[in-house]
Amino acid sequence: MPDRSHDRDGDNIVGGLVSLLDQPSRKGEVADCAYGPISLTGMIGILTAGGDCPGLNAVIRAVVHRAEEGGQTCIGIRDGWKGLMENITVPLDRDLVDEIVGLGGTILGTSRKDPYVHGDGLTSILPMIEANGIDRVVVIGGEGTLASALRLSQEGLPIIGVPKTIDNDIAATDVTFGFHTAVQIATDAIDRLTTTAESHNRVILVEVMGRHAGWIAAYAGIASGADAILVPEVPFDLGNLATLLKRRQARGKNYSIVVVAEGTALPEDLKGPSVKRDAYGFERLGGIANVLAPAIEALSGFETRVTVLGHVQRGGTPTAYDRILATRFGVAAADLALSGASGVMVALRGDQIVPVPLEEACARVRLLDPAIYEVAETFFG
């Protein structure tokens, strides 16, 4: 196997945290964990959990290829943590994953079942870890999944995290894969909505995903020339929005596109009574535009229609950028697994892929950069 741990200049290709990477492969050893010893066999488990996202299959393919190159075997864990809790696994090899770099979704399936919410943490999965001879798990997930990965790694399970979410809100990485694809899908949709809004003299309120952060709303809004963008990070006033729309009409623009991120807080008087939550306790979002539209119409006097893009933003083929980022993450994750590292996540910093402690990734949500919103605001109205 070629030694890939160093580049031509002698720098570690995954950079940083060198001490973590200094650990030699521990195949054949026995590692201590809170519930007893785990024998290290050289088997890497791979799972995808939480909401799906374009690029998951590119990561799986990259991990399998790189691990095989390093003499190790991969096993696929079905439907996220559920597969580890219920022992549902599939063998993986490079022949099986060869053609999936551009395939959307995840060949492993996913779910929001969680070992801490629906089980007793490590004890609920340890028998399956041992039965399958898994000594390291590559966990591809977002905020909730990585938080559980951190807890499991603190309990002693060797884990390498890979950040995924179209929301782009994971700390410690400059970008998550899937975001670029979602922005492109939303931009294409808004471009189309703009021509019909103009033909009919309408305001169209386009709702995009973004639970805590307005990255998709801001990027797609800037790219498509939106006239106003509402994001969770920036409080807004409906009266000001209506004034902005009227100002546009006064200068001869009798249509407007307003982009709203699903996680934007509603004004107090429009908030509904009930909140639905998912397995991680996150509010089940979607539909804010339907609440806002009648209020915008009443205040502005303009016919206001709604398009909720929803899951179309997560589906289908990843952009070339996301395929490449996902592949780089997968290769780095396999390298970390081969080197015996644990409790780390691969991250993009500048143009380098680096390992960062899972603690750092889980410490906070990565909100929209105010400088990006400032750029967007330049074009409002």
Asked if residue 304 binds ligand F6P (CB under 6 A), the reply is no
Task: With H, G, I as helix, E, B as strand and everything else as coil, classify residue 62.
Answer: helix
**Pick the catalytic residue: 79, 135, 167, 335?**
167
3-state SS class at 371: helix
Task: Considering the complex, state which of residue 17 and residue 367 has its C-beta at the smaller distance from ligand F6P.
Answer: 367
For residues 38 and 50, give the distance between their C-alpha atoms in angstroms, rounded to a whole number: 26
Name the residue nearer to ligand F6P (CB basis): 6 or 284: 284
The pair phi, psi for residue 163, each rounded to 5°, is -80, 125
Q: Is 142 in the site for ligand F6P (CB under 6 A)?
A: yes
Q: Tell me the two tokens of residue 118.
A: 């629906």
Looking at residues 242 to 281 of the shown chain, list those that interact with ligand F6P (rule: CB under 6 A): 262, 278
Distances in Å between the Cα of 56 and the Cα atoms of 8, 143, 271, 314, 330 are: 29, 15, 35, 11, 9
Q: Could you tell me the smallest distance in angstroms from the CB atom of residue 378 to ligand F6P?
A: 26
The answer to the question of residue 211 lying near ligand F6P (CB under 6 A) is yes
Joined tokens for residue 361? 């990734």
- Please identify, among the stretches 90-98, 165-173, 241-249, 287-295, the one whose residues bind ligand F6P according to the rule CB under 6 A: 165-173
What residues from 218 to 237 belong to the interface with ligand F6P (CB under 6 A)? none
HSE (CB half, 13 Å, CA atoms) of 278? 16
163/210 with CB nearer ligand F6P: 210
User: Contact with ligand F6P (CB under 6 A): which of 114, 135, 167, 233?
Assistant: 167
- Nearest approach, Cβ of residue 16 and ligand F6P (Å): 27
Alpha helices per DSSP H over 133-178: 143-154
Answer yes or no whether residue 105 interacts with ligand F6P by CB under 6 A.
no
**Toward ligand F6P, which CB reaches closer, 142 or 343?**
142
304: DSSP letter: E
Letters for 19-58 (x = contact with ligand F6P by CB under 6 A, - = none) are --------------------------------x-------
Tokens of 187: 């931009």
- What distance in Å separates the CA atoms of residue 173 and residue 244, rounded to the nearest whole number? 35
Six token digits for residue 87 = 């022992």
| Min separation Cβ 343 and ligand F6P, Å | 23
Using the minimum distance from each CB to ligand F6P, give the nearer residue, 49 or 204: 49
Cβ atoms of residues 245 and 300 within 8 Å? yes
Chain centroid offset of residue 262 CA: 16
Q: Which residue has the tokens 């030699």?
A: 24
Q: By CB under 6 A, name the one of 125, 134, 222, 285 that touches ligand F6P.
A: 285
Binds ligand F6P by CB under 6 A, chosen from 43, 56, 75, 166: 166
Asked if 248 and 227 touch (Cβ cutoff 8 Å), the reply is: yes
Nearer to ligand F6P, 64 or 175 (CB): 175
Q: 365 forms bridges with which residues in the sheet?
A: 170
What is the smallest separation between the CB atom of 210 and ligand F6P, expressed in angstroms?
6
- Contacts with ligand F6P in 308-327 (CB under 6 A)? 314
167 is a catalytic site residue: yes
Smallest CA-to-CA distance from 343 within 75, 33, 85, 27 is with: 33
Catalytic residue list:
167
Footprint of ligand F6P (CB under 6 A): 51, 142, 165-167, 209-211, 262, 278, 284-285, 314
